[in-house]
Structure 1
Amino acid sequence: MNPICNLFNIKYPIIQAGMVWCSGWKLASAVSNAGGLGIIGAGSMYPEVLREHIRKCKIATDKPFGVNIPLLYPNIEEIINVVIEEDVKIIFSSAGNPATWTSILKEKGITVVHVIANSKFALKAEKAGVDAIVAEGFEAGGHNGREETTTMCLIPMIKEVIQIPIIAAGGIASGKSMLAAFALGADAVQIGSAFAVAEESSAHPLFKDKIISSVEGDTKLSMKKLVPVRLLKNKFADIVEQAEAEGASQNQLTELLGRARAKLGMFEGDVEKGELEIGQVSAMLKEIKPAAQILTEIWQEFIDAKDSLSRLTM
């Protein structure tokens, strides 16, 4: 059996990314009900809001689901307490040191997966005792690795140095790209952008429309002096680019970003002044569909592509 399907007790090795302002209980439960692993994105939630989403997700699905927790979250202890109190079984951690919380979570019987973007941190995550890692390439939307290593390069390099299962992420929104990730050594895929435009995504309709109307080259990695983040180009992204070209400091970029900039764009729908986090693969997304349809289409294309390749080698 596939090691990730076995680890999470799911039907398909397809994980929905825990994206800020997109991944609420509706999306997570829809993906889980379709046979994948849905994830609630805690990065844009206050502790009690997260608690509400967890409880609603449990009502909406009897299948496994997880919560993504950025470890640099300012209320991290409260968030950790919420997932323990609400008996969440799967945690995807990111943006921080997995050694800090992994052992505590695992003592509570929680399966822990950590998101990394290079071999060094893959080894650190494995040493910290995580059950699997998400290896996220440069193509991915949102916060990204400083090395700018593409998924096609990252996965085989990670495969060489760790023994635990690998979930590939970044630039994957089709069955064909999923098959490519498996050929490189992945055991499963994590998909963000394709689910950001799902009907059940909590992203604002104007943000979804902006995504499906985007074309090749409409995203760019920005704010490298802070934490690199891939954004869809708009007026805000232009302002950031100009500030960086003029040598803006970390403090100036932080002030420019502001706490609510992502909420403004992705959740409230100001697609010019807001921050629009999305991956390069957005240029391939042309429709808003139910999450279950997105998942089943990706899986069927994966099977068809695998069969097609098998015939070619005969």
Structure 2
Amino acid sequence: MIGFKCKKCSRINYPKRARCLSCKGMEFEEVELGKECELVTYTQVYNPPAGYKGDPPLMLGIVKFPNGVMAMGQLAIDHPKDLKLGVKLRPVWGMLREIGGKEVFGFKFELAKKEQTSKLKLGGIEMEEYRGKKVEMEVMGKDVNWKEVMKPYPPRKIVLPNGEEMIVRSQTKDEIEEVVEALLPKTVQHKQLFDLIASEMVTEFYLWREGRPMWGCPAESHFNLVGRVGDEIVGVSNGALSSPEVGNSLHTVAIREGQQVGTQLWGCKLEHYFDVLGIKELHAAAESYRGGTELFQTFGFEEHPDKVVHFGTSPMQRLTKRQWERIRPGKIAGKRI
């Protein structure tokens, strides 16, 4: 960032002004403000101005450079918990907002000691390198022979309320692009928090394809179910295992709404977990009010005492094999094909 030093009184002005704030001088020379600054104060704006493309809140702060110059700008901070008065920041150039269809750029401030990935191997699951230091990514079930544990879901035919037949079966990696294309309209539909999971699901499909772990579960334990009516993809559901005995439900998305597609896929996923893969306990997150009240309660889930969902909306839920066997007859529709 550049400041403007008055040639008459040596005061450094920022931003550039017609006259020096101290002596009203009109001649300046450019000087660098510094590589780092410190946070003096900040605020969070939950109703940001039009054209701001980030997610609320918009974080604004006032910073102070070593030469005493103070400046205000956006704070490019991922986690508000990192915002502490006096924290060291550095100016970076980036887009601030969009006005009249044109992008407006300027300086914003990020953490000076931001931990950045210097090397990333798509094929290497456990190890990543951060600034020359190798750290092990925490992945559960690394010593399990997942080829023996994971089995395909036996296809099931389910008649939907409109009379059409939905076929549910395991998805292959060759189908990823087709499934993602079907999900894309959902990724831009933000009527409720639940809609965010379509974007997460797309990411998880590509992580699965590249052999990367998800939510601490190895890529080899990941599975996907797809529901089709004819050639049309009407819903998808995915999950993973942290061990051969514990499943971690990820997401279920009904691409075609109003025909109980999501509810039927959810039942098929539970069947796959308990009856095909043989787990003893399933952990799942109610990412919407409807999911928590209609699905989880009717399926007999109980709150997990020690875990909270990653959206921070509710406690993690769990279902045991014993409870599944008790309610199973009324939760699985259709027949094997």
Report if TM-score (shorter chain) is over 0.5: no
Q: TM-score, normalised by structure 2?
A: 0.23
Pick the structure with more helix per residue: 1
Higher relative contact order (CA 8 A, sep 6+): 1
